[in-house]
Amino acid sequence: MRADLVPDDLWERVAPLLPPAPERRRRHPGRLRVPDRIALAGVLYVLRTGVAWRDVPAETVGCSGVTAWRRLRDWTEAGVWPRLHADRLTELRRADLLDLDDCAVDGSHVRAPKGGITSAHRPSIGPAPAPSTT
């Protein structure tokens, strides 16, 4: 694993938030689990380079892209990222480094099926129907 992918200070913040590894089976234990730090390196590699998960170089990162993706999925389901975000905001507030006077909020990630709920009439943006010729 490249050392610059997961610096020590980042790992110290993320590691306590990660869920514990599942217990290995006794009879057919399968492959050894890739360490969480290496899986995080795979996730960060994809985020930094923009490559597809299948194109993650296992020799550089230390695990396959599929392994990194699965771990990202597991961590997302466990709520790691909102907790990391909240911890970071708390840390910035304590250090008086968080200034919310100048901030922007983007709500484009919120779904609005069929335009959302509205009571106002919305005019059609399609072409007007052709007049009848009969």
Contact 5, 44 (CB under 8 A): yes
Q: Say what the pLDDT of residue 12 is.
A: 95
- What is the residue-averaged pLDDT of the chain? 86
Q: Say what the pLDDT of residue 101 is.
A: 79
What is the SS3 string spanning 97-114? CCCCCCCCCCCCCCCCHH
Between residues 101 and 34, the one the model is more confident about: 34
- The arithmetic mean of pLDDT across residues 71-99, rounded, is 93
**Among residues of the chain, what percentage have pLDDT more than 90?**
58
Q: Say what the pLDDT of residue 134 is.
A: 72
pLDDT digits (tens, 9 = 90+) for 38-52: 999 999 999 999 999
Is the pLDDT score of 55 beyond 90?
yes
- Whole-angstrom distance, CA of residue 104 vs CA of residue 47: 22
pLDDT digits (tens, 9 = 90+) for 17-36: 999 998 888 888 888 999 99
Q: Give every CB contact of residue 2 below 8 A, 6+ residues apart in sequence.
A: 41, 60, 61
- Would you give the DSSP letter of residue 53? G
- Whole-angstrom distance, CA of residue 56 vs CA of residue 32: 20
pLDDT digits (tens, 9 = 90+) for 5-16: 899 999 999 999
Between residues 63 and 29, the one the model is more confident about: 63
Q: Say what the pLDDT of residue 78 is.
A: 96
| Of 95, 105, 106, 87, nearest in space to 14 by CA | 87
Long-range contacts from 20-28, C-beta under 8 angstroms, 24+ separation? none
